[in-house]
Structure 1
Amino acid sequence: MSPGPSKSRLTESRGNARGAAARARTQEDAIVEVTWCYYQDGMNQNEIAERLGISRATVVNYLAEARKRDYVRISLDTDVFRNQDFARRLVDRFGLGDAVVIPSSPDGAEQSLERVTRAVADWLPSLLEPGDRLGVAWGETVYRVAEAAPRITLEDLTIVQLVGSRPAALGFAAETCSATLARRYGAHCVNLHVPLILSDRKLVEQLKQEPVIQAQLEAVANCNKTIFACGTCGDDSHVVHTGLLDRADIDACAADGAIGVICGRLIDHNGNGLDRDIEDRMIAVTLQQMRNKEIGLLVGSGPDRAEPMLAAIRGGYATHVATCSQTAAELLKLADDNA
């Protein structure tokens, strides 16, 4: 029988653990101190480095770590973007309840979308009240909003997953979007525990009759507010990436007049749904259920998003819009051209 660790080794191990914990605590304190000095006291990085006896590079790293850990959150007052000229023109032109328009990034569409989703993350809490049931769609845009959302507690809020589950890249799946936003807001989450599409219509009807699924679908139908994006009908569409439709299908639908996608369902230029044979095999919010909400927050940005967004507005799905200045200009131009 081999001898156990000596008492001195155990003492040394415990000492090392305590030392590591102390060093971690010391670094944690330093990160907090650097963050306070920079954001609250208005000191520059060189001044902080001199005060704390560390290098400027360390100050930069500590500030980056503070942002990563959500110790500090930088946001602009969304009223600035609500009162922007394009925002007021969108509200007036389309009869919206409100809009925010973020300046487009000079670095391209990807960066513009990032700006818009971060602004929406700051704006959304102001649109919610106790007792609200917020229906959450899926896809990259909605996922980015959820990831950027502040960690706050919104009283008596229920988050509802609007579409059934479907494998999606990079965490853009419906259940990830709803669960992430619910966690950020400290809200109750109602997930829709069924596949988005099945191969058999009878199976769909059987699943809908299950008491648990029935209750979840009632929550979907009873949402009083929604947040969603209107996808495109091209090869790069979210419904193509998730396998809901293949490229041949989406091309055929586009030829038949499809211009956008809301919660997996195709719409035409006027926001009307296309009657496809897979509709009866899908378990998700219906287009009719998406209409006429207290708030339907449509989020989108990019050169290919103006037409789908305009269709969603025409169809009565959106009461509020968040976009970038270039997309807003294109929306207004399209509306004027088709007047």
Structure 2
Amino acid sequence: MGQNSTRRSSKQISGEDIVVETAWLYYHDSLNQSEIASRLSVSRATVVNYLQEARERGYIHTKLAPEAFNTHRAALELRDHFGLKAAYILPDGTGGSDDHASRIIRGAADWLPSLLEPGDRLGVAWGKTIYDVAERLEQTTIPDLVVLQLVGSMATPYGFSADVCSSNVARKFSAKCINLHVPAILSTAEIASTLRAESLISKQLDAIRHCNKTLFAVGSCNPDSHIASSGLATLQDLEDYIARGAVGVLCGRFIDAEGNPVSGPLDNRMMGIELHELRHRDMGILVSIGEERVPAAVAAIRGGYATHVVTNQSCAAAMMDHA
């Protein structure tokens, strides 16, 4: 039987099947694009399109081993300098800030499942960074995992409120989710105190205190930060906290350069985990994007909130310089 008789043309394979066949030949049988084009009797450009379609449909998942990112020089230097358990440092590449952010998000989503174990109780913060990480997670199951919302909800126009972030992470891991059914900030300290005493809210707050791992990002104190744009803090509030030494925001709470809590007008009205309850967990996973957040990231590490850091080379270098 001649070689040509073993070939299957694109006329014999149609629709979704040819996309899968192309992906199989390329990734499993290690044929190059020209060889696949010959095998399927199509052009090389068509093969490229089929491979792109396979990626877009989620048929192809490619990952580099974590060792590529957490055992090279920059990762080890950051780990050793700050006393971290591990650092996952992505290359900067040649793109701009959006490309940098995308790489860090992808890196965090690839690394996170390997950091979790059956029975863990993962506390999840909020914000665009955490929302984007959740969106990039692959669907998997971690038995008996519980995901907990660390901060009350807010009426943010951006779609990445705290309840959405925690729910999305739980959905991707097929985990139980414990949401915190209160606003993140209340109009008075008295109302906040009353709600904390309510049986349901009290149980939810107690649950989040018992998380053993946390996933979070830190925000800056800049006027365009999410804590201001989401309405949790006014510009006057920001100025107040900055005057008291604040350099960053973690789970809606302000921290100084050493990671210590900065007291101010919002504290008694805030609903969510308190800073001292976030310290010294089994694992604190900090996803840090953008050099403008470097002072806040360093403060979070110094304060004992982070044991693992995901960032890129330029931010890692800036953290070393800042420290």
2:137 aligned with 1:145: no
Cα offset, 1:227, TM superposition? 0.8
CA distance in 1, matches of 2:57, 2:182: 34
Q: Root-mean-square deviation (CA), in Å? A: 1.8
C-alpha deviation, 1:246, in angstroms? 2.4
| Partner secondary structure for residue 321 of structure 1 | strand
Provide TM-score, normalisation by structure 2: 0.91
1:321 matched to 2:285? The reply is no
1:182 maps to 2:170: yes
Aligned match for 2:65, one of 56, 60, 77? 77
Give 5+ residue unaligned stretches, structure 2: 1-12
Selected match of 1:254 from 215, 238, 242 = 242
User: Are 1:115 and 2:107 counterparts?
Assistant: no
1:95 matched residue in structure 2: 83
Residue identity opposite 1:140 in structure 2: K
Deviations 1:196-233 (A, max 9, x none): 11113232223223332222211211000001111111
CA distance in 1, matches of 2:143, 2:103: 27
CA distance in 2, matches of 1:169, 1:27: 39
SS in structure 2 at match of 1:47: helix
What does residue 148 of structure 2 align with? Answer: 160
TM-score, normalised by the number of residues in structure 1: 0.86
Residue 293 (1) aligns with residue 253 (2): no
- Deviation of the 1:26 alpha carbon: 4.7
Bigger CA radius of gyration: 1
Distance 2:44 2:151 in 1: 48
Which one-letter code corresponds to 1:266 in the other structure? F
What amino acid maps onto 1:141 in structure 2? Answer: T
What fraction of aligned residue pairs are identical, expressed as a percent?
47
Structure 2 residue matching 1:304: 3-state secondary structure: helix
1:26 and 1:179, CA in 2 relative to 1: closer, same or farther beyond 3 A? farther
Instruction: For residue 137 of structure 1, report the CA deviation from its aligned partner.
Output: 0.6
1:115-149, CA deviations, whole angstroms, 9 ceiling, x for partnerless residues?
Answer: 11211111111111111000011111111211111
The equivalent of 2:119 in structure 1 is 131
2:17 to 29, 44, 58: 29
C-alpha contact 1:258 1:268 (8 A) present in aligned 2: yes
1:275 counterpart = 2:263:
yes
Is the counterpart of residue 242 in structure 1 residue 235 in structure 2?
no
Judged with a 3 Å threshold, the aligned counterparts in structure 2 of structure 1 residues 168 and 47 are, in CA distance, closer, same or farther, namely: farther
Separation in 1, partners of 2:244, 2:200: 37
The CA distance in 2 between the partners of 1:64 and 1:208, in whole Å, is: 51
Query: Aligned partners of 1:38 and 1:30: how far apart in 2?
Result: 12
Name which of 169, 194, 204 aligns with 2:182. 194
- AA partner of residue 224 (structure 1): N
SS at structure 2 position matched to 1:257: coil
* Contact 2:286–2:309 (8 Å) recurs in 1: yes
AA aligned to 1:178 is S
Per-residue deviation at 1:330? 1.1
Residue 219 of structure 1 is matched in structure 2 by 207
Corresponding residue number in structure 2 for 1:173: 161
Q: 1:319 to 1:252 in 2, by over 3 A?
A: same
Say if 2:237 and 2:265, in contact at 8 Å, map to a contact too: no
Matched, 1:208 2:196: yes
- Residue identity matched to 1:272: N
CA distance in 2, matches of 1:209, 1:62: 58
Equivalent runs, 1:50-61 vs 2, <5 Å: 50-61=38-49
Shift of 1:303: 1.6
> Once the two structures are superposed, what CA deviation does each residue of 1:250-271 show, in whole Å capped at 9, x if it has no partner?
2342233211000111111111
Q: Which residue in 2 is equivalent to 1:63?
A: 51
